[in-house]
Chain A
Amino acid sequence: MGLQPFLLLSSALFCIGLFGVVTRRNTIGILLGIELMLNSVNINLVAFSRFSGSVAGMVFTVFTISITVAEMALGLAIVILLFRVRRTAMADHLDLLKG
């Protein structure tokens, strides 16, 4: 098993996540797509770390996992707040800043 299959898997997952981010209409669905993209990045980091023989990539994976958790907590808090104020979770209804 070389490095290549891991990189191909993570790029496929990244592109699927990106597809979710650009096509979903619901903000929670967009957050799920972001989650998939970050997850594929973690696979990439761990694979490079293991095949280069240094643990730096794994350390940074610990950091990215924690940052993702913080991001999800804040993102969902914002979604709930938007729901309270605007009664919608569709991203294209949230056009308050559009001139």
Chain B
Amino acid sequence: MTLDAVAFYALAAMLIVSALAVVLSKNLFHAVLWLALALTGTAGIFLLLDAEFLAAVQLLLYAGGVITIVVFAIVVTERLVGERITQTNRRIAGGALVCLGLLWMIVTSVMQRPLATVRPEMSGDLTRAVGDSILTKFVLPFELLAFLMLAALLGAIYFARPEE
């Protein structure tokens, strides 16, 4: 096995274990920490796919930003209730059945297709290519995204305003 494959399977095992811990752990705070591990592992997968810029964005925005706001939300809500929030799952059998069925459908269709086994050579700096196409070919979605961020910011402030 090449070094790439070893790294991939180690990361994949870590991702699956931490994802299962996210959906199964009783303590909500532990679930968030497991989610941070899963998101960091995803950044590793991005590195294996030569997307260094996306790995950095993943660490900064997801593992940094999202985890922080979720932790804040848990702290604030626990304070409002004045007790620790535990959480349980319900309808585990039905949910597992649906998810395993979906997994089986996806896996069989992925297995049947002839998929690429070699990566095409991508010349030059991938980060530069991503930046170039964001500001040329995909500039309209990029501007729409700015609008969406503004709307989300205003919405979050509106929801979180103090009560009159």
Which residues of A come within 8 Å of B, CB atoms? 1-9, 11-20, 22-26, 28-29, 31-33, 35-36, 39, 42-43, 46-47, 49-53, 55-56, 58-59, 61-63, 65-74, 76-81, 83-84, 87, 89
Cross-interface CB contact of B50 among A7, A14, A24, A50, cutoff 8 Å = A50
Q: In the complex, are the beta carbons of A25 and B89 less than 8 A apart?
A: yes
Contacting pair A87 B85 (CB below 8 A):
no
B50 contacts A73, C-beta separation under 8 Å: no
Known contacts A62-B54, A66-B61; can you find 8 more A-B pairs with CB under 8 A? A16-B16, A25-B88, A25-B89, A36-B23, A46-B46, A56-B133, A79-B77, A80-B80
Q: Tell me, rounded to whole Å, the shortest Cβ–Cβ distance linking A30 to chain B.
A: 10
A-B contact list, 6 entries, CB within 8 Å? A35-B62, A58-B54, A61-B54, A68-B66, A74-B159, A81-B159
Q: How far is the CA of A16 from the CA of B152 in the complex (A)?
A: 27
- A78 and B50 CA atoms in complex are apart in Å by 37
State in angstroms the CA–CA spacing of A19 and B148 once bound together.
29
Chain A residues within 8 Å of B130, by CB: 55, 58-59, 62
Which of B42, B57, B115, B155 touches A43 (beta carbons < 8 Å)? B42
> Which B residues touch A51, using CB under 8 A?
115-116, 119-120
A95 CB to closest chain B CB (Å) equals: 15
A33 touches B23 (CB 8 A): yes
